[in-house]
Amino acid sequence: MLDFLESSIGKKVLVALAGLLLIVFLAAHLAGNLFLFAGAGPFNHYAEALEDNPILPLAEAGLAALFLIHIILALRARWINAAARPQGYEVRADKGARTPGSRTMALTGLLLLAFLVVHLKTFRLAPEEARETDLFKLVVDWFRNPWYSAFYVAAMLGLGLHLSHGVQSGVQTLGFNHPRWTPAVRTLGTALALLLALGFMSMPIYFGFLGGAK
Ligand code: HEM
């Protein structure tokens, strides 16, 4: 088992598994964040209920582990591959299968990493006082900064691109690769990527540029 996890295919499986579990987190996070559109009362109520949940510390530790596994192993594989063929391929055998999403995985991944650092710093690691008294105000005040909101929109475009390739590639890595199912998985992956990217984007757009909650 340890030998498998240390092999390059084992690490690919871990990247895929962690990535797909992170999508479950993203779907739940988006659903919760949509309470922002219902106003301060419902959103703060939701945030309080989450904060009071005794399993939150355990869930946060699991989430941090998923992010670390996914990011570190994916970047490591990328560096190892780049070192193995510094000039790149003259002619790529799989050229026809390359999509904008697959070509930019490392770039969009790094953009998302930068997003995550800014995001955690401004929300999760904001002073306890601001988070606990009115999380809604904290979020909306940040979104009223057009630079902050523009960065979020750009990062969510990156998220859409990253997932447009990531979902189907992850599913394939986990072994679900069949001529009959692959097109359906690809369509579902694209739909999920669009839904998550547009969903997350809607908040900075509404509060940052359309004057929401004024
Ligand atoms: C653009 C819409 C988003 C909004 C409004 C939003 C809002 C928030 C807020 C308010 C918190 C802090 C919760 C607290 O302190 O109790 C938070 C935490 C977090 N967010 Fe987001 N988020 C958004 C998008 C994202 C995206 C796209 C990702 C991942 C790529 C993400 C990853 C996280 C993580 C990992 C945490 C820490 C969770 C925890 O430790 O409990 N968020 N988010």
Residue given tokens 């871990």 in the structure block: 14
Of the pLDDT bands very low, low, confident and very high (cuts 50, 70, 90), residue 79 is: confident
The three-state secondary structure class of 91 is: coil
**Band of the pLDDT at 95, cuts 50, 70, 90?**
very low
Domains and CATH numbers, the chain: 2-85+101-209 (1.20.1300.10)
Query: Between vectors from CA 190 to CA 150 and to CA 25, what angle results, nearest 5°?
Result: 70
Ligand 1 center to 126 CA (angstroms): 12
Which amino acid would we find at residue 143? F
Phi/psi for 145 (5° steps) reads -80, 110
Identify the residues whose C-beta falls under 6 Å from ligand 1.
29, 33, 47, 51, 60, 63, 112, 116, 119-120, 123-124, 131, 135, 139, 152, 159, 200, 203-204
User: Distances in Å between the alpha carbon of 30 and those of 12, 34, 90, 200?
Assistant: 27, 6, 42, 6
**Lowest mean pLDDT segment, chosen from 15-19, 83-87, 96-100:** 83-87
What is the spatial distance between Cα 196 and Cα 202, in angstroms, rounded to a whole number?
A: 10
CA 204 to centroid of ligand 1, rounded, Å: 13
- pLDDT digits over 15-29, tens only? 999 999 999 999 999
DSSP three-state, residue 211: coil
Residue 169 Cα to ligand 1 midpoint, Å, equals: 25
Rounded Cα distance between 202 and 34, Å, is 9
* Ligand 1: nearest atom to the Cα of 139: 10
**38 with 207: CB under 8 angstroms?**
no
DSSP secondary structure code for residue 178 in this structure:
-
- Quote the ligand 1 centre to 119 CA distance (angstroms): 7
> Closest ligand 1 atom, CA of 196?
27
Kindly state the average pLDDT of the residues 68-90: 81
Band of pLDDT at residue 45, cut at 50, 70 and 90: very high
Q: What percent of the chain has pLDDT over 70?
A: 93
* Ligand 1 atom, smallest distance to 50 CA: 16
C-alpha 102/C-alpha 9 separation (Å) is: 18
Distance 105 CA to ligand 1 centre (A): 21
Q: CA 42 to CA 39: how far, in whole Å? A: 6
Which tokens hold the place of 88? Answer: 């790149």
Q: pLDDT tens digits, residue range 105-156? A: 999 999 999 999 999 999 999 999 999 999 999 999 999 999 999 999 999 9
CA of 5 to the centre of ligand 1 (A): 30
pLDDT at 103 over 70: yes
Q: Rounded to whole angstroms, how far apart are CA atoms 68 and 203?
A: 26
What confidence score (pLDDT) does residue 96 get? 47
Contacts of 51 (CB under 8 A, 6+ apart): 132
What percentage of the chain carries pLDDT values higher than 90? 75
Which residue out of 21, 33, 129, 148 has the highest number of ligand 1 atoms within 8 Å of its CB and is therefore the one to mutate? 33
Q: How far apart are CA 167 and CA 53, in angstroms?
A: 30
How far, in Å, is the centroid of ligand 1 from the Cα of 146? 19
**pTM of the predicted model, to two decimals?**
0.91
